[in-house]
Structure 1
């Protein structure tokens, strides 16, 4: 079996080039890749900039960056008031990207998210008015407060980076990343996210409360102007596109790919609903991004093991009907070895 730490000639797989790397999207073809070390430096610069606003959430910032570099979307399940909106805004400003927020409510319509055609009396034609989904970073705040019909408005956008309205398909900006928050403290006033939508989120994380020292630092920063007002870009959208292209070319050896596949199969055999092939691909891409953040041009098993809990757990449904698959993923990581 090929050493997962050593690049080498590999057979092609689904969504991969002949080198074993996941092929980047065609939309990034005009942006040449950068060296993995440059991706690591870029991520460090963005994370430092975000930390000027967000206190004590370096790991969460890394999750956002890995999700973005892996061409994915992030689900944040947590209580109100822990900085989810500020995190999304500060990342968008750090990369000089557009940011839109959608406050999901029970009366929100799909067209309120995707956009709508409006009749123009001067031209006697319908003009498309883009919805807030047309942004580089879209915050879906309390996404589970809206009914499934409205939640489903994100399905095409999250999977294909496009929106179809009245028979016309329009591409979304590149990069495009949804950061959705989920209220888990008022189950009687929320709707459960459809499985198909949950599966489209690359990662699911929690921010958690700050400790005493961190909260004191937050209070000190917010006594005057909000530090978010002073955030300046430290990267460009083109930088992010180049970094994403690099991540897509990070080597994932045959041994690593088989390891990921065996982890996914384990979850399917030990839960009512296990990780899908989309989840396996998300784990490879997140592992590629993790490798790039370490300045490496190839994935090692440690990358997979670090990313698996946040990438796979939310996709799993247990026999008891539970939605927390963390124990299943932990068991898989304990029992499955790289061969």
Structure 2
């Protein structure tokens, strides 16, 4: 199975204030620019990738180009593109179902997976736990999150890819251990009972946990967990649960927009760059699991082998999971209550 940092304190206020963060505009005065609409934690990743791509592309073509970034909860970002509020040339989203939603709206052609290597997935990830130094509550696996007195920090599954993957991972844990859907539903409801609030996206959850010291455990993307621990200077630790989901962030150029912008060649070159060895090395160093197995193996000390289940354990596909769990009257709606932060 293929499974495989900007100071967090400096951006805390802006992340908590809004769900969408506009990233650095690399090559802001360039003659030709594209907009990459991405999910919440990838700010630093693309800030490192974009200058390398621009230098390579300009050397090869002689064209002066630029890349702009936009970041927020993956599902929120997808809706922004679908509604025309962000005219993305490319999307690099946290869930295949978010790209599929744009396909259904006619913005992306149906063959988008086959247009790029590795099913248009340049990297993979998963969901892990971040705990305080020495793990004072001895949190080791999913059942420990619903013990009395444990407070979890996780994003809202209505807006965040991290939030959706948290729910799917918890459900999958129960199913993988022989539980039925009734037991999985009860477990998931208990999990959200332990969340004092639900923020819109992954980075805001990390700020609440790592900087504001809210809660006992942050259920986070692996790359976010690695960054939080690195930034904490020993105050935080990662816990890998016994099993978690194989998260499959997916990328595509937005056909409807690149046609209008006359940016198809640049957009395609940008996404193909993500699969090059240079880009895969940057991807691994930033805490994502590159699709290139050789590159992944070189970073095994930072990205250890872990037990991941595919989405097909709990749904027919990512699209089916979206409908089953997160659509109107889906699983989440049977117990979901918005939990905004109270300051």
TM-score (norm 2): 0.25
Larger Rg: 1
The normalised TM-score by structure 1 is 0.25
